[in-house]
Structure 1
Amino acid sequence: MTQKSNPALFINGTWQTGNGKAFHAENPANGDIIWQGKAASPDDVNAAIMAARNAFPAWAKRDLNERIEILERFAGLLNDHKDALARTISLDAGKPHWEALTEVGAMAGKIAISIKAYHDRTGTRHGDAPGGGQAILRHKPHGVVAVFGPYNFPGHLPNGHVVPALLAGNCVVFKPSELTPLVAEETVKLWQQAGLPDGVLNLVQGERDTGIALAQHPGIDGLFFTGSVPTGYHLHHAFAGQMAKILALELGGNNPLVVWNAADLDAVAHHTVMSAFITAGQRCTCVRRLIVPTAAKGDAMIAAINDYCDRLIVGAPDDDPEPFMGPVISNRAADGLMAAQAKLVADGAKIIREITRPDPARPFLTPGLIDVTDVKNRADEELFGPILQIIRVDSFDDAIREANNTRFGLAAGLLCDDAKLWQRFIHESRAGIVNWNKQLTGASSAAPFGGIGESGNHRPSAYYAADYCAWPVATLQTDKLVAPDAAPKGVRP
């Protein structure tokens, strides 16, 4: 299915054709071209930023309830178009329809959560000032912010930045992943239908050059990014020394799951598989390292997980029966994961369940289990796909040390029946998300999301997004100017 060229840009309330180079997006399941258009040139990016800058004063001064009304209309439109938008996500990202529906549901749910977070964490506070009068805490929007979206949740994750940014009174220039442009286009159309004023939200599509033009533009007051660690590094370096701009980063992790003294092997298998292979392993909270005991206990756990993997259906989103896993995002991503498996084996890893690629022309991968216990100098990197590395250790002390043996710190989990071991784990683990007897890939939007170390900063996209979308202004005030009754000490009467 080949699409006509799309007007790739939405600037100041109008759909426009970009002046950059042509590019296209493919359905990863079958290779069909589902979107094509021209990227935003540097001049186009400048026009989008100027449109946002011009729209900012009126939007920031607009009554909060009016902004909320528009956001709630957007939530209603998401619910009204839930099935259609989910099918667009399946086309763009290869997700099974059941999973894409949950993504649209999370997008709609983000509105109420963001409103509550705004009132809980920002908004306006009144109190008594020392010596009389009022102490007031207000929050102001930054101005024009850029939002960069990833491909794995092309609707939900950029939405997690855009919604709280608009709620706080910012104007936004949104650059989605070049791999999933269609979801961004359809989402912006719903914002337009919701009545968002011209220039408040602008869309620039494109590849690396468009992203560089947006990130380096002097007219933005901040950038909110969810995506890969290498891109996060690039943005962090690009923003170095620009203290006036806020940079919020949600990156990845080499996430550990420790399984210890867990009697229910069916539960171990279920929660491990849900943590490792949902979304074809393309969630930043997916487990990358499974840490289990040596000898028979560990063998039994691994066998149960391997048996569960036998039941997973891998296929296209529209297959019948519906699959658990779709393809990874691209042939390039699949090639990289196959190469990573080969390198682990060359370094001494033992394959328990090999990642296979049934059709070399398409990026469908079966889940893989690889024992890397004997691999020396294991690379501390995020393998973003359905590959689970298994590490066997002799003691729970060793398990905690191994779990923390990463420069990242996004997510960690423990499957265990012993509450005392859980108390040790929650105290000693180094991660921003730490779960007990729950899958790692089910984070709550009503809580902060993000990690420590090289997993990012500011806890972007979830409940604490309100914190980085506005800046606090502390005020002492009284409506009448009066002198004190007595002169201060050291001042003659």
Structure 2
Amino acid sequence: MTVVPHWISGAEVAPTGPTGPVTDPATGAEAARVGLADAAVVDTAVKAATAAFAEWSETSLARRTTVLFRFRELLNERGDELAAIITAEHGKVLDDARGEVARGREVVEFACGMPHLLKGGFTENASTNVDVHSVRQPLGPVAIISPFNFPAMVPMWFFPIAIAAGNTVVLKPSEKVPSAALWMARLWQEAGLPDGVFNVVNGAKEAVDALLEHPDIAAVSFVGSTPIASYVHETASRRGKRVQALGGAKNHMLVLPDADLDLAADQAVNAGFGSAGQRCMAISVVVAVGDVADSLVERIATRARTLRTGDGRRACDMGPLVSAAAQSRVTDAIAAGAEAGARVVVDGRDATYDADGAGFFVGPTLLDGVQPGMSVYTEEIFGPVLSVVRVDTYEEGVALINANPYGNGTAIFTEDGGAARRFCREIQVGMVGVNVPVPVPMAYYSFGGWKSSLFGDVHAHGTEGVHFFTRAKVITTRWSDPEHRGLALGFPVNT
């Protein structure tokens, strides 16, 4: 059976220690094994990144950008290869996997313009014959610890910016979906990135802890559940590292009485059941205001029943969950909601699937009459379960959302511009959509939530991402008037 290796200093490194299973979630069969790095393997990768940093950090912006553009072109040409890997290991349907690759590529394209964002400021004659200017410089080797639900996009939120800024990277992907990271490592090499600038170590908690505790890692970017995000932030911060740790979510969609209910129902289904609900920006709660609830629930249910669930490599709308444990967690949550008094309008436990073998499937599930005290409301299920909470007023809906400990994403559906504007100002959530259910920002804005959805002060990509992976320096200078000597009539070029 294939064993997925590590990637260190531009070469595959075969694991010598324990391995873990890589499962095809559509069939339930073990497709490969993956090496689980210990602290010694992590140390080897960090040493490779440290050695490469000396040269890469001094490489000109022009040359760095050339490599980034080449990586972008290769990704554009061969993105379908990466999408197929994602579907095979994660389970999401191919169209969804292609969308993931496209959204990750946006950050690569943003990073191609990094020279503009790395510019400092300059003040001439701030004092008599004294000039002041600022620069942004790279940090050193950085660690990226990414989750299973976006094997390509989430790492690409971070590593293009880190590399463009002159840092080197050690990526630790989820051990459930390791192959996408290895594919991207090979693509970087093909694009001309020097060995050691981008490294991949596979593993579980031991590898994570080794990265968090390694003295040569300057910064850590993490995406995952809130308890682990809190642990990562506390552990790495205590060791003096920069940390951006993006945690969990419970995203609400507020539907006002004047909303286009067909649009709202379409988007609730898209945002609730896309990728089998395994998105940190998935809508998991629909908050129906006033007398629209019955009609809205009927519309959502009608649409949910038309979805075809099965192997993501086939003509299906929704694929499986990533593992048997995830499947069990979701079915237990549905049962707990029903036992607590929620009405199961569409039951994904009874669905049929277009797949071979015993995959990890749960069909689209719709629960009505969910109350804030129920576990199906309070817990992040991370599966295709959409809960409907009924409220009487806009104010009650906003209070409900603001009372939630998470603050990742939210949306309002309305035709009233005043209500939408008020919602955007009053809601205590980091990313807001108006008639947009999954408000994931473009790459030149920054991604991140509020409250228990973010640990650390800096969001991913955009200007905040650039600032996270660099540090500012201000230089004050006084010189005598210079003399210029020598002739050079050729047109100056960047090298």
Q: CA deviation at 1:266?
A: 1.4
* 1:329-348 correspondence runs (5 A): 329-348=322-341
Aligned partner of 1:213 in structure 2 is 210
> Does the alignment pair 1:271 with 2:267?
yes
Amino acid at match of 2:470: A
The answer for the alignment partner of 1:424 in structure 2 is: 422
**One-letter code aligned to 1:273:** V
Match of 2:391 in 1: 393
Kept after mapping to 2: 8 A contact 1:344/1:375: no
Q: 1:39 aligns with which of 36, 41, 60?
A: 36
Contact (CA 8 Å) 2:366, 2:387: kept in 1 or not?
A: yes
| Separation of aligned partners in 2, 1:152 and 1:375 | 26
CA distance in 1, matches of 2:131, 2:52: 32
Alignment-derived partner of residue 327 in structure 1: 320
The CA deviation at 1:442 is 4.7
Residue of structure 1 in register with 2:347 after alignment: 354
In the alignment, which residue of structure 2 is the partner of 1:109? Answer: 106
Mapped partners of 1:232, 1:416: distance in 2: 34
Say yes or no: does 1:297 pair with 2:255.
no
**What residue in structure 2 maps to residue 451 of structure 1?**
449
- TM-aligned CA distance change 1:262 to 1:356, over 3 Å: farther
Match of 1:130 in 2: 126
> What is the rounded CA distance, in whole Å, between the counterparts of 1:171 and 1:277 in structure 2?
36
**Residues 65-104 of structure 1 mapped to structure 2, 5 A cutoff:** 65-104=62-101
SS of structure 2 residue aligned to 1:438: coil
Aligned in 2, Cα 1:97/1:478: closer, same or farther, shift over 3 Å? same
Distance (Å, rounded) in 1 between the aligned partners of 2:51 and 2:141: 10
**1:254-276 C-alpha deviation (Å, 9 max, x unpaired):** 11110002342211111111221
Please state if 1:434 is matched with 2:432.
Answer: yes
Question: In the TM superposition, what is the alpha-carbon distance from 1:102 to its structure 2 partner?
Answer: 1.7
Which residue is 2:312 aligned to?
317
Show the counterpart of 1:487: none
Question: Which residue is 2:475 aligned to?
Answer: 475
**AA partner of residue 224 (structure 1):** S
Deviation at 1:120, TM superposition (A): 5.3
Q: Deviations over 1:371-392 (max 9, x none)?
A: 2444636553322111111110
Are the structure 2 counterparts of residues 441 and 33 from structure 1 closer, same or farther at C-alpha, using a change threshold of 3 Å? Answer: farther
Cα distance, 1:18–1:405 mapped onto 2, change above 3 Å: same
Paired-residue identity, %: 28
Deviation at 1:240?
Answer: 4.1
CA drift at 1:122: 3.5
CA distance in 2, matches of 1:353, 1:177: 32
Partner deviation per Cα, 1:3-55 (whole Å, 9 max, x = no partner): 4233x111122211123311220111112333324222211111111111111
Instruction: Report the count of equivalent residues.
Output: 474
Q: Give the secondary-structure state (helix, strand or coil) at the position aligned to 2:475.
A: strand
Q: Does the 8 Å contact 2:69/2:112 carry over to 1?
A: no
**Which string of whole-angstrom CA distances, capped at 9 and with x for unpartnered residues, describes residues 206-229 of structure 1?**
122222222222221111111221
Q: Specify the alignment match of 1:381 in structure 2.
A: 379
Instruction: Give the partner amino acid of 1:318.
Output: R
Separation in structure 1 between the aligned mates of residue 106 and residue 410 of structure 2, nearest angstrom: 25
Q: How far has the Cα of 1:446 moved from its partner?
A: 2.6
Q: What's the secondary structure of 2:378's corresponding residue?
A: coil
Distance 1:292 1:338 in 2: 24
Distance 1:462 1:256 in 2: 25
| Structure 2 counterpart of 1:190, one-letter code | L
Give the Cα separation in 1 of the matches to 2:109 and 2:182: 23
CA gap of 1:375–1:76, structure 2 versus 1, over 3 A, is closer
Paired position in structure 2 for 1:155: 152
Letter of the 2:288 partner, please give it: V
- State the one-letter code of the partner of 2:348: I
**Alignment check: 8 A CA contact 2:440 2:447 kept:** no
Q: Distance in 2 between matches of 1:182 and 1:330?
A: 16
Q: 1:87 to 1:75 in 2, by over 3 A?
A: same
User: Which structure 2 residues correspond to residues 481-492 of structure 1 after superposition, within 5 A?
Assistant: none
Q: Would the aligned equivalents of 2:255 and 2:413 in 1 still touch at CA under 8 Å?
A: yes
**Cα RMSD over matched residues?**
2.0
Deviation at 1:86, TM superposition (A): 1.2
Q: Which residue is 1:283 aligned to?
A: 279
Runs of 4+ more than 6 Å apart? none
Distance in 2 between the 1:98 and 1:444 partners?
Answer: 19
Kept after mapping to 2: 8 A contact 1:35/1:181: no
Q: 1:137 to 1:364 in 2, by over 3 A?
A: same
Could you say which residue in structure 1 is the equivalent of 2:254? 258
Query: Counterpart of 1:477 in structure 2: which amino acid?
Result: T
What is aligned with 2:487?
none
